[in-house]
Amino acid sequence: MYLLVINILLAFIPSLLLVVFFYRKDNQKKEPPSLILKTFLLGFISVLPAALIEIFISPFLIGNSHLASALYKAFIIAAVVEEGIKLTVIKLFIFNKTEFDEVTDGILYTITVSLGFAFFENLFYSFGSITVLLIRGLSAVPLHASASGIMGYFIGKSKFEGKGYLEIGFISAVAIHGLYDFFLFYGGTLSLVVVPLLIIAGIIVMKLYKKALKDDRYFGRS
pLDDT at 2: 67
Domain ranges of the chain: 2-22+32-218
Transcribe the chain into DSSP letters. Answer: -HHHHHHHHHHHHHHHHHHHHHHHH--SSPPPHHHHHHHHHHHHHTHHHHHHHHHHHGGG----SHHHHHHIIIIIIIIIHHHHHHHHHIIIIITT-TT--SHHHHHHHHHHHHHHHHHHHHHTTTTS-HHHHHHHHHTHHHHHHHHHHHHHHHHHHHHHH-TTHHHHHHHHHHHHHHHHHHHHHH-GGGGGGHHHHHHHHHHHHHHHHHHHHHHHHHTT--
pLDDT at 200: 98
Predicted TM-score of the model (pTM):
0.95
Instruction: Give residue-wise pLDDT tens across range 94-139.
Output: 999 999 999 999 999 999 999 999 999 998 877 777 888 888 999 9
pLDDT at 8: 86
Task: Give the rounded percent of residues in the chain with a pLDDT score beyond 70.
Answer: 99
pLDDT at 104: 97
